[in-house]
Chain A
Amino acid sequence: MERTTLDLWVGMFVVAGIAALVVLAFKVGNLSTYNVSDTYQLQAYFSNIGGLKPQASIKSAGVLVGRVTGITLDTERYEAKVVMSVDSRYKFPKDTFANILTSGLLGEQYIGLAPGGETQMLKGGDEIKQTQSAVVLEDMIGKFLYNKAETGKQ
């Protein structure tokens, strides 16, 4: 067994292929933005989540603080139960407000956390009581048209 130039070429080929995979993972994919730090779970009930999906981001003041891990329908309250895992570096007051917001006009939906003034902080497993559902564009257009019709009569 001795080394040949053929081995060199095949070695270069394999290294280049693996390098391409690494580029796809870190530069193209989201592996670099995965937070490996500890998280804690919070939950919130929304009457309508719109187009929110698992893995959607959770932001506070525009900073990514966590991800949505699960969305289920609670059949006792008939509301959507959203489980979020939030980076444990960030603590939020008990009266934090959770809103479903949209990035841009037609962009992805995310959860925005607006902290309140309470001194006690939310712990793992706690529920965010104050929530605001997603804005459904059709409802908004419907309301607008209805208002227009009302004002047009007068």
Chain B
Amino acid sequence: MAILSSLRGIGSRVVNAIWRIGFASRFFLMTLVYSGMSFRRFRLTVREIFFSGVMSLIIILVAGMFVGMVLGLQGYETLKRYGSESALGSLVALSLVRELGPVLAALLFASRAGSAMTAEIGLMKATEQISAMEMMAVNPIARVVAPRFWAGVISMPLLAAMFSAMGVFGGYVVGVVLIGVDEGSFWSQMQGAVDFQHDVLNGVLKSLVFGVAVTVISLFEGYDAPPTAEGVSGATTRTVVQSSLAILMLDFILTAFMFRGS
């Protein structure tokens, strides 16, 4: 009987997971369909850009600075062995623009802004604000969900660009100012290696995809959370775990498409 019940448990989990995926897809579609209001009343979106984008600014800038500084330090130690310290600029810039900028900015965004979105919507549901809106014939997806979605999608590439720019500055501070790599070769090797279309625009595209994934996961988890204290806390945890995994998996797929054979 133990086997039977455990089999039943596995089955119900699988069915539940598929059910949730289907519901999440419909939720995403509804968000896109009802997003007209977030542009007609753009103030709603601006408000959410403030809470998710502007408030994440400090953590993004500080993290970017330190990641760039670590890259400068580690890159210098490794490149020194081959006598090619002058390639430090291209190493720092390429790794930031292609990978670290979009991925780390998205991970920070998921834990800073994504979890807040989930908790907010989960609590709105627990305190029956969502039902109240429906009662007043206000579509909660158009009024609450879509502005947050578009705010995340708009903020994410901007945050990733700032992260990369700040990281390059951090690498410059450590490499050129502190260690003393030649400034001219630092910038010229960087400009020689980084292609605007191939590297910078692909990085922006990556961060756009991450922005969509993180906000959809956060909003869905909040919307789908059981209306209890444990439910909201569980949903917040799931948001961070799932969006981090989604970012890293999507990054692999996107990298395979973008940078193969170059």
Contacts and interface: CB of A to CB of B under 8 A. Distances in A.
Contact of A10 (B53, B97, B157, B191): B53
Given A29-B194, A29-B195, A33-B191, A23 B200 contact: no
B191 A6 contact: no
Nearest to B82: A106
Contact of B158 (A1, A6, A14, A33): A14
Contact of B204 (A1, A16, A21, A33): A21
A137 B31 CA distance: 58
A23 to B, nearest CB: 5
B49 A10 contact: yes
A10 B204 CA distance: 20
Contacts of B43: 1
B57 interface: yes
Nearest to B199: A29
A137 to B, nearest CB: 15
Nearest to B204: A21
A17 interface: yes
Contacts of B187: 27
B200 A29 contact: yes
6 contacts: A14-B49, A18-B158, A27-B168, A27-B187, A29-B97, A33-B191
B47 interface: yes
B194 A30 contact: yes
Which of B93, B159, B194 has most A Cβ within 10 Å? B194
B164 A20 contact: yes
Contacts of B191: 27-30, 32-33
Contact of B165 (A6, A14, A24, A108): A24
Interface residues of A, number: 27
B192 interface: yes
| Interface SS of chain B | helix
A144 interface: no
5 closest A-B pairs by CB: A17-B158, A20-B165, A20-B161, A29-B196, A20-B162
B195 A23 contact: no
A13 B158 contact: yes
Interface of A: 1, 6-7, 9-10, 12-14, 16-18, 20-21, 23-25, 27-34, 55, 106, 108
Contacts of A18: 158
A34 B57 CA distance: 32
Given A17-B158, A20-B162, A31 B54 contact: no
Contacts of B142: none
B50 interface: yes
A9 B50 contact: yes
A12 B46 CA distance: 12
Contacts of A16: 57, 158, 162
A16 B60 CA distance: 13
Given A17-B157, A18-B158, A28 B192 contact: no
